[in-house]
Chains A and B, each alone.
Chain A
Amino acid sequence: MTRYIRHAAAFCALLLVALLANASRIQVVQAPAYDDNPANRRQDIARYSQPRGDILVDGRPVTGSKDTGEQLRYERTYDNGPLYAPVTGFVSQRYGSSFLEDTEDGTLAGTDPMLSPFPLWNDFTRARSPGGDVVTTLDGAAQRAAYEGLADRKGAVAALEPATGRVLALVSTPSYHPETLSGNAPSVTRSWLELQQDPDKPMLNRAVRQTYPPGSTFKVLTAAAALDAGVIRNVDARTRSPDPYTLPGTRTTLRNTARNCRNASLRVAFEWSCNTVFAKLGVDVGVTGMAATAQAFGFNDAGLRIPFAVSASTFDTTVDRAQLALSSIGQYNTRATPLQMAMVAAAVANGGQLRQPYLVERTTTHRGATVASAGGRPVRQTMYPSTARRLRELMRDVVEHGTGANAAIRGTTVGGKTGTAQHGIGNAGTPYAWFVGWAQPAGDPVPKVAVAVVVEDSNAHRGDISGGGLAAPLARAVMTAALGP
């Protein structure tokens, strides 16, 4: 019997070994996969178990957290939700997160290892640091001015500080209230579905995720390319531009809304936005030169992060001469985000040096100690400094006695370019009113703010829609606010 008892004991030992081996399999080998299973709520619970860090504008939080006492304990709240939604994005217990809430999640949720007191400390203790704060570059006054200026119209505003690349305003309308997506209540699902199905697309961030035909505002770029390439040596010399202009290799003729465009000098053509002159200039520069300049400004770059991704603005490089002519006046396949056009204005304002835009000034621990700073941003020379100087002059003329008069600010040098972009088949769609510009207070060595405004307004009469009429006053309000008292 002794032998059989030992056999039975060995059998029990085998059961034990099986249990231990299986426990190791689950708790060590499979653990990462199980932890990351979307149905496993542990990560969500941990994430919402503490108040989320805040996003700051002008040193004041524009976000908050409220304790619900539920399993996913803390929910996000927003002050002025719709105003800052294009920047903060939303954070939802059901639908994930977007924009700063998404890209800065490590800081806000306290998972960033930089927040822990010692390296690997949190890994060892399994603790979570309190959520850190994200200090933005936004100028609250400029943001408010842009939002109130757009009012109930569809559109977007992007404003930059040319010398640094700091984003001063980023507005998209119609907007939405991100707080309606916080939490877990049935109302969250309802809000989500409503927002998704809304034909006005309130959750679309038009400032960075929507590309528009830039229309005449693109002529800043065409002028820069022509000056850089030496196609134009003197902005006051007459060009050889017929009016109307027949697109090369076609029978299509291009006309102007303005008069006296025939053989107009660059200065006059820029002031009155002559399509014929700039279309021909683009053809004269050639596709290589035009594409090089466009790409220097950031077109065709899908990699821009501010820190969230910005949709690529496009300049088609596989075009024949007729298409190039249209591309050079901001039509055909040329499309740009409002932020991209603000970058163009900022590059002109900053002597041709384009600072990459950024939104996060620094991240801090919950006590306010700096964790990471933006530091110096990469800089790119987009054109010769002399070209930038001449372009500033041309843009100033537009505001002083051209189509952009509505953007003028007393006591401040303002430059700009208006645009009206047609779109849709046979231009049936509502045109977009554009304005890009910059402002330089007296006594400042360089412009302090660059701005791009786009407004699409189906309520207005088509005739009223022009960059000068709709977008320029708004740009003026934003620049005035950004320059501050």
Chain B
Amino acid sequence: MTKAVTGTTVAAEAPAPAVRLPRRRGIELALIVVAVLLSVYGYCAVGLARQGTLPPGAAGYGAGLGVLALLAHLTVRLRAPYADPLLLPIGVLLNGLGLVLIYRLDLETPDDLAAPAQLVWSTLGVALFIVVVAALRDHRVLQRYSYVCVAAALALLTLPIFFPAVNGARIWIRIAGFSIQPSEFAKVLLAVFFAAYLAANRNALAHAGRRLWRLQFPTGRVLGPVVAIWLVSVGVLILERDLGTSLLFFGLFVVMLYVATGRAGWIAVGLTLATLGAVAVGRMEPHVAARIHDWLHPFASIDAGQGPNQLAQSLFAFAAGGMLGTGLGLGRSTLIGFAVKSDFILATAGEELGLLGLSAIFLLYALLVERGYRAGLALRDPFGRLLAVGLASIVALQVFVIAGGVTGLIPLTGMAMPFLAQGGSSVVTNWAIVALLIRVSDSARRQYDGEVAP
């Protein structure tokens, strides 16, 4: 995420220098081995701390994670040989750590196991990764399907309205015993659509249309879809009570619009609209106002004699971790209650790995985001650039929204921590994001090698 990005950015009309770039697949493999070993180490540490013996499934867990990671690595080696070598190991490490944390929490809630399902979903996620990397030979193909993407995204977003609410939020659909969160998939589809739409219309957005005071307003034809998407986001918020997702859409949309047009005015407009929407919804929806109140006064419920609420428990967990953490398996984060494996998974990480471990996790995400941005900078086609930026921003915003929420930096909104949190849809979606980043980073580095994308 540093601004100092190496490699000169090449203007679109410059001829490609024929340089032989290292492919670095060996580094990727070495890093994957490290990631798997770290995860197995964490798994063993949990077992030793909780039961005093090595957990019986350690070998199986390591082998399973290793096989998945190796299959993904082989796919990358064959189909995207120039891809960035950090993306896949970071995904493996975060997913492995997430499984360790969920397994660790399962030990304290034996009648509500989440790790086995999470393992299945992780497998599905890696499978999707393999399929995307293998089948999508060039990211530009996606441009043709942008309207299919947006239609699918809108359909997915509206689906949960027909299903019953869970914990006050209508964001799940249940199919054959599995509960799926369609809005997770919609994120990626929307990013693809935004990238394609903005790549096609960015000049119109930046320069055409009327000037009003000092803002350049584009024509209605170009602005229409933008407003439509904004309305959809608000609609999601109101109908499904999914604050996190709508916040993410706003952020993603504003960032991509700014990158496409370079108009800071769009940020102002976006923020204004977001604020208006939030205020309006806050007025209408008592639970939104309650979230904001909790954020401002996390200990109000204690003073009122009702005991600590989830956010207060989460803050207690982080505080208990201190600098070095209690050690895996030795924390008391289950005091948080029912969302401890999903929304509040970071509190377990913070308590048991301490500020040190938490910072390491944040830096892993930062590295993932930075690698996405780097690919965006290196690419030449506007769609690819916007897609890379959009995908990286999704990861960054997801992390910020939920990590900021559980640490009391911003009001708490429901959102899964990418790769770490319990939530099948989230894991699968984030593997898809990593797959797309692998693909664009492969294109980005391949072009300097004088090879044309097949």
- Please report A residues at the B interface, Cβ cutoff 8 Å: 1-13, 15-16, 18-20, 22-24, 26-28, 30-31, 33-35, 37-42, 45, 126
Contact = CB atoms under 8 A, between A and B. Distances in A.
26 contacts: A1-B385, A2-B377, A5-B385, A8-B255, A9-B5, A11-B255, A12-B373, A15-B397, A18-B404, A19-B362, A19-B400, A19-B407, A22-B408, A23-B355, A23-B358, A23-B359, A23-B407, A27-B323, A27-B358, A31-B318, A33-B319, A39-B302, A39-B307, A39-B308, A40-B316, A45-B332
A24 B373 contact: no
Interface string B276-309: 0000000000000000000000010010000110
A12 B377 contact: no
B3 A6 contact: yes
Contacts of B218: none
B259 A23 contact: no
B259 A8 contact: yes
Interface in B408-436: 408-409
Given A8-B255, A15-B404, A126-B330, 16 more contacts: A9-B369, A11-B255, A12-B392, A16-B1, A22-B404, A26-B315, A26-B408, A27-B319, A31-B318, A34-B319, A37-B302, A39-B299, A39-B312, A40-B316, A40-B319, A42-B332
Contacts of A18: 400, 404, 409
A2 to B, nearest CB: 5
Q: What is the predominant secondary structure among interface residues of chain A facing chain B?
A: helix
Contacts of B359: 20, 23
A11 B370 CA distance: 12
Nearest to B392: A12
Contacts of A1: 259-260, 262, 382, 385
Interface string B376-416: 11000010010001001100110110011001110000000
Given A20-B362, A37-B299, A4 B262 contact: yes
B296 to A, nearest CB: 15
Contacts of A34: 315-316, 318-320
A233 to B, nearest CB: 69
B332 A28 contact: no
Contact of B355 (A5, A27, A35): A27
Contact of B389 (A5, A15, A33): A5
B167 interface: no
A6 B385 CA distance: 12
Contacts of B62: none
A10 B397 CA distance: 13
Interface residues of B, number: 55
A184 B365 CA distance: 43
Q: What is the predominant secondary structure among interface residues of chain B facing chain A?
A: helix
A120 B198 CA distance: 61
B2 interface: yes
B258 A31 contact: no
Nearest to B1: A13
A90 to B, nearest CB: 24
A42 B352 CA distance: 13
B329 interface: no
Nearest to A6: B3
Contacts of B358: 23, 27
Contact of B320 (A11, A28, A35): A35
A126 B321 CA distance: 11
A35 B321 CA distance: 10
Given A22-B407, A40-B316, A4 B258 contact: yes
A24 B399 CA distance: 17
Contacts of A20: 359, 362
B302 A30 contact: no
A35 B319 contact: yes
A13 B393 contact: no
A200 to B, nearest CB: 31
A22 B403 CA distance: 10
Contacts of A12: 1, 366, 369, 373, 392-393, 396
A13 B2 contact: yes
A17 to B, nearest CB: 9
A50 to B, nearest CB: 14
A18 B362 CA distance: 11
A13 B3 contact: yes
Nearest to A26: B318
Nearest to A16: B366
